[in-house]
Amino acid sequence: MARLPDDVPARPPLPVKMVIAGGFGVGKTTTVASISEIAPLTTEASITSVAAGVDDLTHTPQKTTTTVALDFGCVTLDPTLKLYLFGTPGQERFGFMWDDLVEGALGGLVIVDTRRLDDCYAAVDYFEHRDIPFAVAVNAFDGQVEHDLGDVRWALDVRDNVPLTVFDARERGSVRDALLVVLEHALARAGG
Amino acid sequence: MTAGEAPSGSAADDAYPEPCPGSYPQPHPEPHTEPVRPASAVRPFLLTAGRVAGGESLVPPIPVETQVVATSGGIAALDTFAFEHRDIVAVCQEPLSLAEIAAKLRMHLNVIRVLADDLRVDGRLTLHLPQGNPARDASVLRRVIDGLRAVPDSRGARRDY
Ligand SMILES: Nc1nc2c(ncn2[C@@H]2O[C@H](COP(=O)(O)OP(=O)(O)OP(=O)(O)O)[C@@H](O)[C@H]2O)c(=O)[nH]1
Ligand SMILES: [Mg+2]
Which chain B residues are closer than 8 Å to A44 by Cβ? 102, 107-109
Residues A77, A92 contacting (CB under 8 angstroms): no
A 51-90: CB under 8 A from B: 65, 67, 70, 72, 74-79, 81-84, 86
Please check the confidence at residue A81 and state whether its pLDDT lies above 90: yes
Question: Residue type for A171, please?
Answer: E
CA of A24, nearest ligand number:
1
pLDDT of residue A166: 94
CA separation for the pair B125, A9 (Å, rounded): 9
The CATH number of the domain where A71 resides is what? 3.40.50.300
| A186 close to A131: Cβ distance less than 8 angstroms | no
**Would you tell me how many other CB atoms lie within 10 Å of the CB of residue A156?**
18
Residue A118 has a pLDDT of: 82
List all residues 6 or more positions away from A141 whose beta carbon is below 8 Å from its beta carbon: A27, A113, A115
d(C-alpha A41, C-alpha A72), whole Å: 5
Rounded to the nearest angstrom, the distance between the alpha carbon of A78 and the centre of ligand 1 is: 29
Indicate if the pLDDT at residue A31 is higher than 90: yes
Residue A9: inside a domain, yes or no? no
List chain B domain ranges.
42-150
Task: Place A61 in a pLDDT band, splitting at 50, 70 and 90.
Answer: low
A1 occurs within a structural domain: no
The answer to whether the Cβ–Cβ distance between B145 and A183 falls below 8 Å is: yes
Q: Shortest CB distance from B64 goes to which of A11, A101, A180?
A: A101
**Which atom of ligand 1 approaches the CA of A24 most closely?**
25
> Looking at per-residue confidence, does A29 or B27 come out higher?
A29
Which one has a higher pLDDT value, B43 or A66?
A66
Q: Which percentage of chain A shows pLDDT scores above 90?
A: 41
Q: Answer positive or negative: Cα dihedral of A115, A146, A85, B90.
A: positive
> Are residues A183 and B144, on separate chains, in Cβ contact within 8 Å?
yes
Which candidate, A84, A57, A136, places its Cα nearest to that of B148?
A84
Give dist(CA A153, CA A175) in Å, integer. Answer: 20
pLDDT band at residue B75 using 50, 70 and 90 as cut-offs: very high
Q: Which residues pair with A44 in a beta bridge?
A: A69
**Banded model confidence at residue A156, pLDDT cuts 50, 70, 90:** confident
* C-beta atoms of A79 and B99 within 8 A: no
Distance from CA of A154 to the nearest CA of B (A): 28
Taking CB atoms and an 8 Å cutoff, what residues of chain B touch A183? 141, 144-145, 148
**Can you say how many angstroms the Cα of residue A25 is from the centroid of all Cα atoms in its chain?**
14
**Contact with chain B for residue A190, Cβ under 8 A:** yes
User: Would residue A96 count as lying in a domain?
Assistant: yes
Burial per residue of A86-124, b for 16 or more beta-carbon CB atoms within 10 angstroms, e otherwise: bbbbbbeebbbbbebbbbbbbbbbbbbbbeebebbbbbb
CA of A27 relative to ligand 2 center, distance in Å: 7
Structural domains counted in chain A: 1
Q: Identify the helix (H) or strand (E) that includes residue A65.
A: strand A61-78
**Mutate which of A30, A145, A167 for ligand 1 pocket (most atoms within 8 A of beta carbon):** A30
For residue A68, is it within any domain?
Answer: yes
Average pLDDT over residues A76-95: 79
- Supply the range of the domain harboring residue A147: 14-52+60-189
Backbone angles phi, psi at A124, to 5 degrees: -60, -50
Q: Give the tens place of pLDDT for each residue, B111-147.
A: 899 999 999 999 999 999 888 888 889 999 999 999 9
Average pLDDT of chain A, as a whole number: 81
Q: Whole-structure pTM over 0.80, yes or no?
A: no
What atom in ligand 1 is closest to the CA of residue A141? 32
Averaged pLDDT for residues A54-62:
49
Q: Identify the pLDDT of residue B11.
A: 37
How many residues are present in chain B?
161
- Give the pLDDT score at B57: 47
Asked whether residue A4 is assigned to any structural domain, the reply reads no
